[in-house]
Structure 1
Amino acid sequence: MKRKLTPLTDPSQVPPEMSEVQAQAFWASHEVTDEYLARPQQEASEEPPVRSPVASRSITLRLEVDTLNRLKRLASRRQMGYQTLLKNFVLERLYDEEKRQAAR
């Protein structure tokens, strides 16, 4: 004898954040109706999460042409912008220097 399933007419009837065991038990006792399927589904936002702004300031930095070209080639190989790579280099060096001074 077939068990009678509880019909679902709206996505809001599905409990959020179920464990795998809970989800199996829920879907074993519920069925999706045509009305449920006719409702527009909420899609996950395509927008990245908003980052809290970090205070930063634009600066001008003069580099030799050869140095800038080398930096751009390396950034390209790492698939990142050369300014991002340069910022990472500065942060890494600052960290090393601060660590060295703290050890004194």
Structure 2
Amino acid sequence: MKRITSKEEIPANMTDEEAADFWATHTMSEELLEASVTEDDLPRRNGRTKTISIRLEHDLIKRLQEVAAQKHMGYQTLMKQFLIERVYEEEKSVR
């Protein structure tokens, strides 16, 4: 089976039959597979989250993205995790 390492190796405008034949003999590399998944592809929790806007400095966003990449996660997910942890610590100190 041939391993695909870039999107350019995947033929464009294939019919369903052509795509089936192609993927029967090809597979995506782990790196390409991980890179192709976006946060929009991940399942969402209905009604449990709310979209907000927040202004952050470009440098902070870049730093968050670098840390998130090292942890193999999205930077917004990492930010949410940081917020959850910090709020928990604040709640503990108030009690």
Structure 1 residue runs of 5 or longer lacking an equivalent are 1-49
Secondary structure of the residue aligned to 1:79 is coil
TM-score normalised by L of structure 1: 0.47
TM-score normalised by L of structure 2: 0.51
The structure in which a higher percent of residues are helix is 2
How many angstroms apart in 1 are the aligned matches of 2:89 and 2:53? 24
Counterpart of 1:91 in structure 2 is 84
Q: Note the C-alpha offset of 1:83.
A: 0.4
Alpha-carbon RMSD across the aligned residues, in angstroms, is 1.9
* Number of residue pairs aligned between Structure 1 and Structure 2: 53
How many angstroms apart in 2 are the aligned matches of 1:60 and 1:54? 18
Matches within 5 A, 1:59-98: 59-98=52-91
How many angstroms apart in 2 are the aligned matches of 1:97 and 1:61? 21
Residues 52 and 65 (structure 1), Cα distance of their counterparts in 2 relative to 1, 3 Å cut: closer
How many angstroms apart in 1 are the aligned matches of 2:62 and 2:72? 15
How many angstroms apart in 2 are the aligned matches of 1:57 and 1:72? 21
Aligned-residue identity in percent: 43
